[in-house]
Structure 1
């Protein structure tokens, strides 16, 4: 009888870890939304940009992403060590790599948008923006696929 209670606890812990992971991903998506809104507000302050305000936003966004990543990596370790779920741990590894790429692409796009606003005669800039947007779409598709695989694999055993 004791064993059954122990298994229930492990199952509940596993479920709680998975739910926390999904919550962190939601936080990450919300942080991207705030980052995008903040950048749009920053662009509206041009041509004499309010860089100090934007710099503070970037600092706060960076801290938020760092905290989320740190906790996601802790979850990755728990899934590997405590629950012996290398498959889920691998999904998180891929996810973290794609999230890092997404952040880099987002930052590049923001810089290009500002350049396009400051130099509207630069036609090359618009082409680069379109290429970056395409790469971001591909990245989002990859993230979605990783999350689907994670969901399928985590429910398979749950």
Structure 2
């Protein structure tokens, strides 16, 4: 793998992370639209959105794993590979937290009298913030280590 192939792989990883952020944005907007259809939710449209978002995340993950394999095997860069593995684990956690938050928001909308619903939402939001901080740290470490080798 040439230095230009290495740079392309690194740049593609960053582009994939941007695609993930855009997918999360669409997921959030779609869920907000879904909540506006309550109390008789339009689950069919939301299910379609979830399907499309899931396909997008799967495609992104497959490409990230391909980059990971390329960096590890072709460039002998286990340090970068380790960052990507951590990134993938944190992204999985982020998706799980996002789903939990969406369920908590619907539960709060369906049970406005239940104060524990709002508490649950705040708790999950704090977990998401911690997750985002971990993701930023991993990407920063990846960036530092990948620039070091150029």
- TM-score norm. by structure 2 comes to 0.99
**Aligned residue number for residue 34 of structure 1:** 26
Match in the other structure for 2:57: 65
Aligned to 2:74: 82
When the two chains are superposed, the root-mean-square deviation of aligned CA atoms in Å is: 0.7
CA distance in 1, matches of 2:19, 2:92: 15
Structure 2: give runs of 5+ residues left out of the alignment: none
2-side partners of 1:84 and 1:32: how far apart?
A: 32
- Equivalenced residues, count: 150
Distance 1:74 1:15 in 2: 15
Cross-structure match for 1:19: 11
1:93 and 2:85 are equivalent in the alignment: yes
* Superposed CA offset, 1:84-130 (max 9, x none): 11000000000000000000000000000000001101111111111
CA-CA distance at 1:44 after TM superposition: 0.5
What is the distance in 1 between the residues matched to 2:66 and 2:101?
30
User: What is the distance in 2 between the residues matched to 1:129 and 1:22?
Assistant: 30
Q: Which of these two proteins has the greater Rg computed from alpha carbons? A: 1
Runs of 5+ in structure 1 lacking a partner? 1-8
TM-score normalised according to structure 1 size: 0.94
1:67-146 alignment runs, 5 A limit = 67-146=59-138
Cα separation, 1, equivalents of 2:98 and 2:75: 34
> Could you tell me which residue of structure 2 aligns to residue 48 of structure 1?
40
